[in-house]
Amino acid sequence: MTAVAIASPFSFSFMVNALRAGTIVAVLAGALGWFMVLRRQTFVGHTLSLVGFPGAAGATLLGISPVVGYFAFCTGAAALVSALPTGGSARGFTEESAVVGSVQSLLLASGFLFVSLYAGNLGGLSSLLFGSFLGITARQVLALLAVALPAVVLLAALGRPLLFASVDPQVAGAAGVPVRAVSVAFPLLVLPPAAAQALTLRPAAGLLLSVGIGVGATWAGLLLAYYLPYPTGAFITTLSFAVYVIARIVRSIRHRRS
């Protein structure tokens, strides 16, 4: 094996922290997303995954910790979305999608307002909006773990009833992972679970597969972005999407055989 001219990615603390944070996000998103995809709540999931933007922007404007702003917006949005009429009828769904859409654009609009009020400097906007895995500190990894661990435990405790009953708004709220990687939160929430459910409908195997695909895509994406000059988010989404497409092809071949 030839010696690599570039230093090993694991020798840099920013890469190690990025891999740690990415793994936590991928595990949480893979598990939460499996229920979200099963319940066909993709739209709600997408809306809640955007909460990080106004939360972080508002906190920056007020000069408080982004985690506080995140939780304020997260609980607010989850409460709004869960308070809407959840009738099983087609009409109830009609209303639901309109409410979710309105909440989502209001969230993003307030994020934009906070950013433009903040000294009118829009330079940091795209990093706030799309986030980045680079520059995550060890403390932020710990904070992320502190949020993710209870969420996974709660999910495990609720797992069986959740399969049959309605989703708990708090669990749904945890979907918007408070990491500075908003652009990957939603893809990781929908793509690995969708791929897993195309392959197996058994809950335990599906959950494991979903988490595995998410972690694998995150690791591969981070390492690819280390060596190639393109953003991490593009690699992670493209890899997960490729797995999803392959899973759909495998499923249709299986269907044809049986």
Residues making contact with another protein (CB under 8 A): 37, 40, 42-43, 45-46, 85, 90-91, 93-95, 97-106, 108-110, 112-113, 116-117, 120, 122-123, 125-126, 129-130, 183-184, 186-187, 190-191, 194, 229-231, 233-238, 240-241, 244
Q: How far is the CB of 73 from another protein (least distance, A)?
A: 15
Q: How far is the CB of 118 from another protein (least distance, A)?
A: 11
Q: How far is the CB of 139 from another protein (least distance, A)?
A: 26
Q: Which is nearer to another protein, 75 or 116 (CB)?
A: 116
Cβ atoms within 10 A of the Cβ of 84, count?
17
Q: Which is nearer to another protein, 145 or 241 (CB)?
A: 241
Q: Which is nearer to another protein, 85 or 135 (CB)?
A: 85
Q: How far is the CB of 95 from another protein (least distance, A)?
A: 7
Please return the burial class of 67, using the count of CB atoms within 10 Å of its CB with bins 0-12, 13-18 and 19+: middle
CA atoms in the 13 A half-sphere facing the CB of 168: 15
CB 167 within 8 A of CB 42: no
Q: Which is nearer to another protein, 143 or 167 (CB)?
A: 167
Cβ atoms within 10 A of the Cβ of 122, count?
12
Question: How far is residue 195's CA from residue 242's CA, in Å, rounded to a whole number?
Answer: 9
CB 56 within 8 A of CB 71: no
Q: How far is the CB of 202 from another protein (least distance, A)?
A: 18
Q: Which is nearer to another protein, 21 or 194 (CB)?
A: 194
CB 86 within 8 A of CB 96: yes
